[in-house]
Amino acid sequence: MPQKEAAEEEIEFNVAEALAQRDYTPLVVAQIYKSITYPNRAVQKNQQGTVRIGLVVDRSGELLSVTATQESDYRLLNQAALKAVKKAAPFPDLPEGIKADSFELNLPITFRLQ
């Protein structure tokens, strides 16, 4: 295959994968956000904060790992964020457009009292 065609094919592939990731990410995020529970003790103690969560999902949507990549100042909130991700799993299968064996996502979970 001539070099120009190979480069064009690679660009198209990267765009297709980027679009697949763009479409898959909100599915995972929505499923996690539905599973979040603000701990009662944290509410009583007026605890607020953001926990940044890193997770890895395999092709079949199984949760391979979840870690707090940036914790809040409160253990209750950190635990609640990790629990929400575990409770939300499994996730939808990875779309065909994502060629990798797994999908990594890093997202913030913010606990804020109104």
Tens-level pLDDT at each residue, the chain (114 residues)? 555 555 555 555 588 888 999 999 999 999 999 999 999 999 999 999 999 999 999 999 999 999 999 999 999 999 999 999 999 999 999 999 999 999 999 999 999 998
pLDDT number for residue 10: 54
pLDDT number for residue 51: 98
**Inter-residue contact 53 to 107 (CB < 8 Å):** yes
Q: What pTM did the predictor assign?
A: 0.85
pLDDT number for residue 14: 82
Main-chain phi, psi angles of 108, to 5 degrees: -90, 140
Torsion of CA 77, 26, 96, 101, to 10 degrees: -20
Please name the CATH architecture into which domain 3-111 falls. 2-Layer Sandwich (3.30)
